Structure 1
Amino acid sequence: MGNVRRRCCRQNRQNRTGIRTPAKRNPGSLQTGTGDQLKSGLWIFVCAVFAACLWDGPQVRADPRQIHVVTQDFAPLQWDNNGSPDGYVAEFMLAVVERVRRRLPVSVASFDFLPWKRAMLTAQSDPNVLIFSLSRTQAREEAFMWLGEVSPYGQYFYQLDTRPAVAADRIEDLVSLKLRIGVQDGGNLHGYLKRLGFDETGNLVPITDYHQGIEMLYLGRLDLLPLTGFLARASACRMGYDGALLQPVVFIEDLAQPLWAAFSQGSDPDMVEVFREEMAELRKDGFFDSLYAEHIDRWQKRACGG
């Protein structure tokens, strides 16, 4: 506080606060007995300067709100591109941060790609943690401070067409079949399948992420793997596999909903509200739509040599 006041007061002496310094007077023109008046006037001036320092103080003192970003490597939404965040969701959220910084002292202290279970644990343990891209479910509703949608999302269970065809019209049809189904440990789909009784059959094979799942599917260690519809083929191609071998079996309709960005509970409420406003503005002006189309097109073409 002392240093801030001193800086502020120095600025005031340079007439940066709008407080006018008293004009110099000729000592000879002062009447006898005006010493007390001078002291009184000086105190008024000092108090005015001090009040200006206090008024300016919060602007000078305010510490930047440091946020910690956690997410999972999930291209082309967000992924680690040689040490730098890439993807249409990552780029969108960083653009939001830049807009927020025009209104609040915000800085990104860290940007970490983590296994999903660890990312969720971090966002449920510490304040000022920004997490994306996640489904907004009833079970999660009170666990986060929701910001806005960041991506469409819909998954199918895929198999390889080199394997015997799986006959199923609904998710429930898979429960009684002896299949090895890859599912991300701790994810929204994992909980959904457990509620349908899959956990009791021993069908579920925990995986860290879709990279591991694709590898296990092509190596014959899984029979079915959930993948995002518009990303499945490109994701396999990018890992060096033939994406054309992927065949959709059944659509996971109950979980087809947009993905969101959110802050952890306990985050600065004023900051959260500004994030919501700036996300809405960027969506309104078409920035997100153009970003999404550009990244998806580039990803599909490059991944499979199209």
Structure 2
Amino acid sequence: MIYSEHYPPFNFYSNQSPQGISVELLQLMLEQMDAPFGVETIHFVPWPRGYQRTLNVKNSMLFSTYRTPAREELFKWVGPIASSQNGLIIRSDLNRDFSNFADLEDLRVGIIKNDIGGILLKELNIPNIHLIPLSNPDKAAKMLEHGRLDAWAYDVNVATDIQRRLGLPSLDYKVGLYLGQPGWLYFAFNPETDDSIIQNFQRPLDQAKKATNAENENLFENILRRFNYRLVE
């Protein structure tokens, strides 16, 4: 079973079909594997549900998933897909200076359950910060807009895409503070998945990233350009 969520530009469902950087890369992989199924079999579910099912169901896969030391033994990994960056998204009119993590005390911060943004914040052990677990990022974006949150911990590129889709003006928001260094997104598999299956996915991913078209253009770089995305360094 393949699970994903609405996490643009990496994976999302639009015009009755799965789309995104990770989705197109997965399609290239499945084609090279001569798999009897394609990306149309992806189940788009809320992140907490997909996360738990992938932890508990053998041979299941979840993407796009940040690979971190805390998650290392929870899954088996195929990747990387792409790099990105997590941060605290705040309203531009929030009269608050963020020079270090101690400045986050007393903030109401929206986090998505089992999402890396919330995990990174919890690891900082900031006193008196109010972490508010939510089931989906759309709700976090709307609560931030209406002043029910002071900040939202999330992938900054994905947050921008979600806010744009919801019609929220980009100039109304900014990144108050970045959460650590840029990280890498992967396809995460249930830990009991046979290593041969992991290899069967890793090999075509490596090949897909090197593949070129008739014009000798790199297919993966073309995918990134199509979604107007630059890898975060």
TM-score normalised according to structure 2 size: 0.86
What's the CA shift for 1:189?
A: 2.6
Q: Do the aligned residues in 1 keep the contact of 2:160 with 2:170 (CA within 8 Å)? A: yes
**CA distance 1:142–1:163, change in 2 (3 Å):** closer
Q: Quick check: 1:124 aligned with 2:124?
A: no
Q: Quick check: 1:189 aligned with 2:117?
A: yes
What's the CA shift for 1:97?
A: 1.0
Give the secondary structure class of the aligned counterpart of 2:42.
strand
Q: Quick check: 1:155 aligned with 2:83?
A: no
**CA distance 1:180–1:189, change in 2 (3 Å):** same
Percentage of matched positions with identical amino acids:
22
Q: Quick check: 1:282 aligned with 2:184?
A: no
The aligned runs of 1:200-215 (5 Å cut-off) are 201=128, 203-215=130-142
Q: Supply the distance in 2 between the matched residues of 1:172 and 1:147 (Cα, whole angstroms).
A: 36
Q: Quick check: 1:144 aligned with 2:75?
A: yes
Q: Supply the distance in 1 between the matched residues of 2:151 and 2:118 (Cα, whole angstroms).
A: 14
1:237 to 146, 150, 164: 164
1:171 corresponds to which letter in structure 2? F
Q: Supply the distance in 2 between the matched residues of 1:272 and 1:167 (Cα, whole angstroms).
A: 45
What's the CA shift for 1:106?
A: 4.5
The aligned runs of 1:1-306 (5 Å cut-off) are 68-101=1-34, 106-107=36-37, 110-164=41-95, 166-174=96-104, 176=105, 178-198=106-126, 201=128, 203-254=130-181, 256-285=182-211, 286-296=218-228
Q: Which runs of 5+ in 2 are unaligned?
A: 212-217
Give the secondary structure class of the aligned counterpart of 1:261.
strand
**CA distance 1:239–1:131, change in 2 (3 Å):** same
Give the secondary structure class of the aligned counterpart of 1:212.
helix
Q: Supply the distance in 2 between the matched residues of 1:217 and 1:271 (Cα, whole angstroms).
A: 41
The C-alpha deviation readout for 1:140-191, integer Å capped at 9, x for no partner, is 2222221111121102212112332x211223431x3x21111111222323
Q: Supply the distance in 1 between the matched residues of 2:116 and 2:86 (Cα, whole angstroms).
A: 12
Give the secondary structure class of the aligned counterpart of 1:253.
coil
Q: Which runs of 5+ in 1 are unaligned?
A: 1-67, 298-306
Q: Do the aligned residues in 2 keep the contact of 1:234 with 1:243 (CA within 8 Å)? A: no
Runs of 4+ aligned residues of structure 1 deviating over 6 Å after TM superposition are none
- Higher helix proportion (structure 1 or 2): 1
Count of aligned pairs between the two proteins: 222
Q: Supply the distance in 1 between the matched residues of 2:116 and 2:154 (Cα, whole angstroms).
A: 13
TM-score normalised according to structure 1 size: 0.67
What's the CA shift for 1:231?
A: 4.3
What's the CA shift for 1:242?
A: 0.9
RMSD: 2.1
> After alignment, is 83-92 or 202-211 more displaced?
202-211
What's the CA shift for 1:222?
A: 0.7
